[in-house]
Structure formats: structure tokens, C-alpha cells
């Protein structure tokens, strides 16, 4: 995670943006709607211009509120690469990512993100995540879902154990 | 998703906060570090005071950058309930959630979130997510990971298909 905060520039792959890959993601999203599998969103991860993994929204089909297209594609791509980082990869997504997916993108650290629809287009179709951005900026105790701190002192033992742990895999 | 933006208050369960449940989450996080399975974080979801599902950070063990404790616990709890919403549930997490997990919390919609460690405590142990909050507030084109829009017009067909679809499951 130190990696993510470093000033080391994220290396952009020397590969032109691909309209073909975005078309493929859009086709996948259309198929997802027509087959009634899930929401109108799809994404794919490409490396060196080749698709590593695809994902379509499957929140309702899998009873998984985190199964947004980007998360599904990122998880599948990391599995395919055997790595928890998408170094040098491009993410193509049919819509501007929501805050959850943006967070996932920063943890996965692809080189570039290409998106088609804007957040406003998604909002117009009933998918409005603006309220989450608003909530994120509020202090925990003032949020719509109450967030209450307790037992901080007791929890510090976990971080102390982590600091003392030898041979840990940082991320 | 209209549900999430509605003015309908989120019903808080009439159940007192449980130090026992937070202790259990802290013990799980400690175990996760000591067994070298993953980062120093754990979470659990409870309903009516009983644990439905637990999760510990397993980013490195499973090569999944989204496998933060809260996401693992939310996915497992939704699977256990057979629902993509955690209505009436409490989430206990050993640390203040990162932006990705906060987003997931808003999509899963538990009634309350209890957390122990503060974001600053995590940062002190090498897990600093402040830069993600900063990135989220920047326009897409100015972010550290370049985010570039293309083919918006073509993508609108997906939302049009969604709007026309009968019998869709909204979320």
C-alpha cells in the first residue's frame, strides 16, 4: 500500500485506446440486460491489448451487492494473473465507476481506466451514486447509516501484532 | 437504488451495541495476522444480535484486491441471507472502512456500522487510504490513474435497453 501512495508514476502502457474493446464491453452489458442477468453495466480488463477477464453486473443474480461490473472484472483478472495488482493493465467499463468501484480500482492499480457512459447517464436510468459521494465527505457520526466507534484501544493490539510480524506480505 | 436515496429512515434495530461482538471481530483480526493469512482487519455481520457471517482481510491470500474484511463479511452475509441487502443488520468492523468498503456498505445497506480503530490508526500501521478520498474528489481526467471517457453515445443503448426491459429486478 505504500506503493500506492508513492510518487512513482503509474506507467501507462504504450498501447492505443481500443474502440473495439469498449464495443465488446458495451455488447456484454447489453447482453446482461437482455438476458435479465443484472444491471446495465459491464467491464473488462486488458493487458497488451488482449482481454484477460470480463465482468457484468450480477448483484441480483448472485445476491452480492459488491458484484458491480468493475469489481467482477477486477477479481477475475487478478485471479487470471495470480496477482492482487493489475500493473500495466487497462480497465474498460461501460460507465463511470461508483465510489466502491473507484476504491477497488485504486487498490487494484490498473494503469488506465476507460469509461463510456457518465454518472449522469446512469442516474438518468435510476442508478444515482451521488449520495454516496456526499456521505463519504460527512464525518462518520453524521452519516445516513450510523457509524459508531467503540473499543479503539482494544483494536490497537491488532496493528501492534502486524507491525511485529516478520515476513508479512504487504499490499 | 431509488431505495437508497429515499427519505425513508433506515430502521435501527432495537438491539444494544455488543462489546462481545466487537471482541470477536478483534480476535478474528489478530488470528488473521498471526496465521499470516492477510492484513490486520476483520469484520462480522450480526442480525438480532447473532452472527450471520464473518470475514477477515484476504487480499494477498486470495489475490483479490477487493477482499477487505468488510467486503468479505458483506458477501458472506448476503449469501447466508439469500438477499443483496443487509436490512436490519449490524456490521462490526475492527477499523474505520476505506472508501471502497464504505461504498459497499451503502449498497448493502446495513442498519448500523460499529468500528474500532480509526483511519489514522490504520495509516500508522502502513494502511493509509486518505489519498483515495482525495482522488475521489478530483475530476476523472485529473486523477493519478488516468480515467478517460470514450464512446458515450454508443453506451446509451444499454441504458435505453434497461429502461425498456419489463420485469427487471431493481437494486
DSSP string, A39-75: -S-EEEEEETTEEEEEEE--HHHHT-TT--HHHHHHH
> Do the Cβ atoms of A116 and A27 come closer than 8 Å?
no
What is the model's pLDDT at position B1? 41
pTM score, two decimals?
Answer: 0.93
**Alpha carbons A70 and B157: distance in angstroms, whole number:** 19
What is the model's pLDDT at position A113? 97
Per-residue pLDDT tens over the stretch A15-65? 899 999 999 999 999 999 999 999 999 999 999 999 999 999 999 999 999
φ, ψ of residue A67 in degrees (nearest 5): -85, 50
Q: Which residues of B touch A107 (CB under 8 A)?
A: 59, 65-66, 68, 100
Secondary structure of residue B54 in the 3-state scheme? strand
pLDDT at A10 over 80: no
**Is B59 close to A102, i.e. CB distance below 8 A?**
no
Instruction: Please compute the mean of the pLDDT values over residues A93-102 and round it to a whole number.
Output: 97
Q: With a CB-CB cutoff of 8 Å, which residues 10-69 of chain B face chain A?
A: 10, 12, 17, 19, 22-23, 26, 29-30, 33-34, 36, 39-41, 59-60, 63-66, 68
With an 8 Å Cβ cutoff, is B2 touching chain A? yes
Per-residue pLDDT tens over the stretch A143-157? 999 999 999 999 999
- Among the listed residues B54, B70, B135, B154, the single catalytic one is B70
Half-sphere exposure of residue A111, counting CA atoms within 13 Å on the CB side? 15
Instruction: Please compute the mean of the pLDDT values over residues A74-96 and round it to a whole number.
Output: 97
pLDDT at A11 over 80: no
The pLDDT tens digits along chain B (171 residues) read 444 554 444 556 688 999 999 999 999 999 999 999 999 999 999 999 999 999 999 999 999 999 999 999 999 999 999 999 999 999 999 999 999 999 999 999 999 999 999 999 999 999 989 999 999 989 998 999 999 999 999 999 999 999 999 888 888
What is the model's pLDDT at position A8? 47
Please determine, for the modelled complex, whether the ipTM score is greater than 0.85.
yes
Q: Of the candidates A104, A149, A163, which has its C-beta nearest B116's C-beta?
A: A149
> Do the Cβ atoms of A147 and B90 come closer than 8 Å?
no
What is the model's pLDDT at position A9? 47
Cα angle for residues A69, A113, B71 (degrees, 5° grid) = 40
> Do the Cβ atoms of B32 and B130 come closer than 8 Å?
no
Size of interface A-B (CB pairs under 8 A): 323
Q: Of the candidates A81, A95, A100, which has its C-beta nearest B155's C-beta?
A: A95
Higher pLDDT, A8 or B123: B123
Q: Which residues of A touch B89 (CB under 8 A)?
A: none
Amino acid at each position: 500500500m505504500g506503493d500506492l501512495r508513492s510518487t512513482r508514476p503509474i506507467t501507462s502502457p504504450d498501447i492505443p485506446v481500443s474502440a473495439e474493446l469498449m464495443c465488446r464491453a458495451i455488447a456484454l452489458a447489453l447482453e446482461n440486460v437482455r438476458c435479465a442477468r443484472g444491471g446495465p453495466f459491464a467491464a473488462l480488463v486488458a493487458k497488451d491489448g488482449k482481454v484477460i477477464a470480463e465482468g457484468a453486473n450480477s448483484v441480483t443474480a448472485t445476491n452480492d451487492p459488491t458484484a458491480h461490473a468493475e469489481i467482477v472484472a477486477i477479481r477475475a483478472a487478478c485471479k487470471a494473473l495470480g496477482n492482487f495488482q493489475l500493473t500495466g493493465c487497462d480497465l474498460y467499463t461501460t460507465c463511470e465507476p461508483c465510489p466502491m468501484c473507484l476504491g477497488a480500482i485504486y487498490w487494484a492499480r490498473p494503469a488506465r481506466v476507460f469509461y463510456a457512459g457518465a454518472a449522469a447517464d446512469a442516474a438518468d436510468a435510476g442508478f444515482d451514486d451521488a449520495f454516496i459521494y456526499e456521505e463519504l465527505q460527512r464525518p462518520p457520526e453524521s452519516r445516513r447509516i450510523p457509524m459508531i466507534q467503540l473499543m479503539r484501544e482494544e483494536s490497537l493490539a491488532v496493528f501492534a501484532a502486524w507491525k511485529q510480524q516478520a515476513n508479512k506480505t504487504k499490499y
